[in-house]
Structure 1
Amino acid sequence: MSRFSHFAAIDWSGAVGARQRGIAVALCALGDAAPVLVRPGHIWSRQDALDWMLHGMPADTLVGLDLGPSLPFVDRGAFFPHWAESPVDARSLWALVDRLCIDDPHLSASSFVDHPEAARHFRRHGGREGDLFGGGRGRLRVTELAQMAQGLNPCSNLNLVGAAQVGKSSLTGMRVLHRAQHRLPIWPFDPDPGSGSLIVEIYTSIAALAAGKRKGQTKIGAGELDDRLSALGSAPHVPLAGRYSDHATDSLLTAAWLRHAHARAELWAPAGMTPDVVQTEGWTFGVI
């Protein structure tokens, strides 16, 4: 019997603004009933999503956040080499981002990106690439290198440019994790306590591949959603009102995947997830 009663997936957004059409929240219970969108039609804010996790989410929920909870550390022995304030672990990084962005509205992170020392490590719009960004696709976490070995195509969390960038989501997500950490354990920074709800990092493409999508073509169309859900042991979904967005289908499928895959012991103990990696970079659930 699973220790979790519910499974949630939150597609995240780092965009500027009070409310984000890119945020979608899906939830399913143990069993085979299809996931449903939480508050369908609602345009979520980041604070809304945090409040739901802290106050509205069912007890004993495994909740996946589609964001990077940390930045590369292991490759250079620091998040921000040559910066005296470079944090020593992920929790200190969350605190630094939140402190420097305390006046940024809507849990955004613009002030961190614009900080003269932090900016040296980011690729930003307008052709602005920090002298310590590293070139190419940018620095990657150990879990992202493992993603590449599984045939995925991760982006560096230090890249803030392009449709596939995840850096803005990661930085805004760190502000949320900083606020959630004393109420909800966050794996693998915290071990699974064995009861209660637990946050993990997700990568929605992992769910799509597990459901039968081809590498490089992991978005789920409305017409194929039920086939993909079926591959994960889920009943057909209740049709959505209005347009099917990628955010909605990604969250629905990934909630079903969390339910389907969470009992696999190897996903909780991947070989590359050393104690140093756990405390500095974290890990993406589903990467082995």
Structure 2
Amino acid sequence: MAETRFTRFAAIDWSGAQGHRHKGIAVAICDTGDAAPALVEPPEATAWSRDDVLAWLLDQTEPTLVGLDLSPAFPFVDRDGYFPGAPGSPPDARALWAMVDQASATDPHLAVSTLLTDPEIRRHFRQHRDCGDLFPGGAGRMRVCEHGQRAMGLSPTSCFNLVGAAQVGKSSLTGMRVLHRLASRVPVWPFDPLPPEGPVIVEIYTTIAARAAGIRKGLSKMRDATALDAALANLGSHPHAPLARYDDHATDAILTAAWLRANAHRPELWTPTAMTPHIARTEGWTFGVS
């Protein structure tokens, strides 16, 4: 893939928080060329809901590369299963998505509270005031691609950790409900093969974009126009249109959409050396980890 077939590039900063609408969700999009990405306004009110994003994804028909900032699966390879010892532990990511969605079917707003009360499943998670006896301690279990992120000097956290500002588990779980409901209508790489046309979803890690844009470790967040424009320039993008509010979610989405546009053509990002077919089916991969 020396040239990309995509003509639009979108990045979605996600949220696993409780509630209906979330300031922590931001969607940014750009076309080919060098114009800065722009935020997509939520369809109603002043903030996106997870259901809004699901509907937006289902509406995409153009050749759009969509980066979703969450982990689409749990570690599997390290222990030959997501939940070793639990009855009916899913054999692959699509079965995992179905299990997560079905277990929390009564939770509104694509939340996952019910799943996390399951007496077997909760044993694998670190939750507030409830660390499961099968959570291994320390950083927790990692996917193969997360070990790759560490080798790049990044600091991923385990999806089984649901405690602290850096936790990604709740985002990942709510995201799995969305991925299940897409029902392959929008392919998700690498669980689905890269199709010759139409939109595709990939997993993103916004810090990869920040590093590529020249933002030093420990300074990944851009909270003003000057910092954002400097980072965009390093990715070959023109300055952005002023925002009503500068926060981590908006600036991460804008910068990562620009990064996707600048890197979608790189063949090594679509064929990572360490990604086997088994890993692609069970754990997935972060776009940008080669």
**TM-score, length of structure 1 as denominator length:** 0.97
Distance 1:180 1:210 in 2: 30
The answer for the alignment partner of 1:191 in structure 2 is 193
Distance 1:265 1:279 in 2: 20
Give the RMSD, CA atoms, in angstroms: 1.1
Q: Which residue among 176, 179, 198 is the counterpart of 2:178?
A: 176
Q: Does 1:148 align with 2:150?
A: yes
Corresponding position of 1:226:
229
Cα shift readout 1:32-67 (whole Å, capped 9, x = no counterpart): 011000017830000000101111x36110000000
Residue number among 46, 49, 52 corresponding to 2:50 in the alignment: 46
1:117, 1:219 → 2: CA distance? 37
CA contact (8 A) 1:6 1:58 kept: no
1:70 and 2:76 equivalent?
no
Equivalents in 1 of 2:184, 2:208: separation in Å?
28
Name the residue aligned to 2:107: 104
Contact 1:232 1:257 survives alignment (8 Å): yes
Amino acid at match of 2:233: S
Q: What number of residue pairs does the alignment pair up?
A: 285
Supply the distance in 2 between the matched residues of 1:181 and 1:30 (Cα, whole angstroms).
28
Moved over 6 A (4+): none
Listed one character per residue, the Cα deviations across residues 112-133 of structure 1 (whole Å, up to 9, x for unaligned) are 111111100000002x110111
Residue 254 of structure 1: aligned partner: 256
> For residues 85 and 19 of structure 1, what CA distance do their matches in structure 2 show?
33
What is aligned with 1:4? 6
Please say if residues 189 and 279 of structure 1, whose CA atoms lie closer than 8 Å, have aligned partners that are also in contact.
yes
- The percent of aligned pairs where both chains have the same amino acid is 61
SS of aligned partner of 2:153: coil
Could you tell me which runs of 5 or more consecutive residues in structure 1 were left unpaired when the two chains were aligned. none
**Mapped partners of 1:85, 1:110: distance in 2:** 19
Distance in 1 (CA, whole Å) between partners of 2:114 and 2:147 is: 29
Distance 1:229 1:8 in 2: 15
Partners in 2 of 1:216 and 1:200 — Cα distance? Answer: 25
Looking at structure 2, the residues matched to 271 and 218 of structure 1 have their Cα atoms a distance apart, in angstroms, of: 27
TM-score (ref. length: structure 2): 0.96
Name the residue aligned to 2:281.
Answer: 279
- Check the 8 A contact 1:6/1:62 in 2, yes or no: yes
Pairwise CA distance, 1:220 = 1.6
Q: Which residue in the other structure is 2:136 paired with?
A: 134
Instruction: State the shift of 1:217 in Å.
Output: 2.1
CA displacement, residues 139-163 of structure 1 (integer Å, 9 cap, x when unaligned): 0000000000000000000000000
